[in-house]
Amino acid sequence: MKSATLKPSRRLLGLTAIMAGVAVVLGSLPLLDIALPKLLSPISRGLLLGLLMVALFDALLLRRLPTPQVTRQLHGNLPLSRWSEVRLSLQHSGVSDLNIGVFDHLPSGMECDSFPQTVTLKLGRTSEFNYRLRPLQRGHFHFSSCELHLPSPLGLWQDRRLMALANETRVYPDFARLHGAGLMGVEDWINRLGVRQQQRRGLGMEFHQLREFRDGDILRQIDWKATARKGTPIVREYQDERDQQIIFLLDCGRRMRSQDGELSHFDHALNASLLLAYVALRQGDAVGLSTFATDQPRFLAPAKGSAQLTTLLNSVYDLHSSQHPADYAAAISQLLARQKRRALVVLVSNLRDDEDEELLKALKRLGRQHLVLLASLREEVLDQLRQQPVEDFDQALAYCGTVGYLNARASLHERLFAHGVPLLDVRPSELGPELVSRYLAWKKAGVL
């Protein structure tokens, strides 16, 4: 299926303008009592008629020109806000080489840096070119058409042909670093990422194996029964408990729509959750998800194994923040009804100073059954405003408002911490490493 739109080229418009100018001059000369040769007017009309006939003939040739065949090669999965390559292949079946313009129609929410493109099509050969594409939002996207601009043989016209060219792709949270992390050791990768780890306190929680005594072992590791049987010191070796469960309780409400750079707080929260999910799954724990303050709440039961990361990605790639307010009490009630086994619940939100008693009651109720970690995202622009010098009255108002808001927010955090609620107050870009640091610290300390 295709549509065509014929329009004059610059060459035809230029020739028409020249002929119109000549006609105006010839029409003006008799008004100035200037005699014209008798043949001049018929010649000018003949040239105009000739141009019209040539233009019509050129348009007919262009209409009969076959449309090049176009195919698009597009990855089925794309990472958010990262440049990816798309390849267009064109094949021409005309009688001579052809220079055409190409413009690929992108769905809303994507941008590119290479259009329009001029491509030379060689007769009987396939011409290819790549362009870069960057998704600006997550979701399922459909490509419907590609636009070709074909010049006429004499260059008097240009035919705009819209080719139906269907493709689709899914845009996921930025999981490129998650994929790359599998190429190196987990500990080395975590250090490269900037995650802080603490020394182990104690010997771990889960029995791993028996082995012979080595330098550095302590006496309370010795298994005396095994030592008596073997006649040599045998110790018990422990490891971090691996069969734990982690659930991300994600706020999808209007407060997560705040923008820091190209990503919203919600997208930062998704990236950080996937980062921690990757680490936890590699540690042998189970990971799940629960969302609230959205039109379509989603729940993914905790599960172990590398396939769970793919399941998690498929559950959130088209999830977006909404205009709904965050109802923490309702979200926690739904989670308690679904999750009976004790788990680490990571609540990611953007707390404001007007939330106090209701939030505290809900978190206390959740803390009776689960281990809770509350991550509160802080707008980076607030830190920037607080650090800027004050030089006029408007800047003074902005500074005082920012400091007052941050102080009220800090007061809320202090009240939550005083009631035993573990809390991270972080900027969105720092959320991922901070979550992993706290998880590993609790893991090594035996809290989790």
pLDDT for residue 184: 44
The verdict on residue 49 lying in a domain is no
The verdict on residue 7 lying in a domain is no
The verdict on residue 20 lying in a domain is no
Q: Based on the domain organization, do 317 and 419 belong to the same domain?
A: yes
Q: Based on the domain organization, do 260 and 401 belong to the same domain?
A: yes
DSSP one-letter string for 65-108: SPPPEEEEE--SEEETT--EEEEEEEEB-SSS-EEEEEEEPPPT
pLDDT for residue 104: 93
Measured CA distances, 210 to 200, 232, 305, 435 (Å) = 20, 12, 26, 33
Q: Based on the domain organization, do 283 and 432 belong to the same domain?
A: yes
Domain with residue 292: its CATH number is 3.40.50.410
Measured CA distances, 217 to 202, 209, 223, 229, 241 (Å) = 12, 14, 12, 20, 20
Q: Based on the domain organization, do 249 and 393 belong to the same domain?
A: yes
Q: Based on the domain organization, do 289 and 343 belong to the same domain?
A: yes
Q: Based on the domain organization, do 376 and 430 belong to the same domain?
A: yes
Q: Based on the domain organization, do 220 and 193 belong to the same domain?
A: no
The verdict on residue 285 lying in a domain is yes
pLDDT for residue 238: 62
CA atoms within 13 A on the CB side of 102: 26
The verdict on residue 401 lying in a domain is yes
* 285 CA to centre of own chain: 26
Both ends of the chain: CA-CA distance in Å? 60
The verdict on residue 418 lying in a domain is yes
Q: Based on the domain organization, do 97 and 129 belong to the same domain?
A: yes
Q: Based on the domain organization, do 141 and 221 belong to the same domain?
A: no
pLDDT for residue 183: 38
The verdict on residue 409 lying in a domain is yes
Domain with residue 155: its CATH number is 2.60.40.10
Q: Based on the domain organization, do 107 and 193 belong to the same domain?
A: no
* Whole-number CA gyration radius for the chain: 34
Query: Per-10-residue mean pLDDT for the chain, 448 residues long?
Result: 74 86 74 66 79 90 89 90 91 83 92 85 86 91 93 90 92 66 49 53 54 76 82 73 84 89 87 91 92 92 91 91 92 94 94 76 92 90 76 81 80 86 90 90 80
pLDDT for residue 312: 92
Which 8-state DSSP code applies to residue 295? S
Q: How many domains does the chain have?
A: 3
Q: Based on the domain organization, do 307 and 378 belong to the same domain?
A: yes
The verdict on residue 46 lying in a domain is no
Which of 336-370 are b and which e, b meaning 16 or more Cβ less than 10 Å from the residue's Cβ? beebeeebbbbbbbbbeeebeeebbebbeebbeeb
Q: Based on the domain organization, do 159 and 227 belong to the same domain?
A: no
pLDDT for residue 214: 79
What residues make up the domain containing 304?
176-181+188-197+241-445
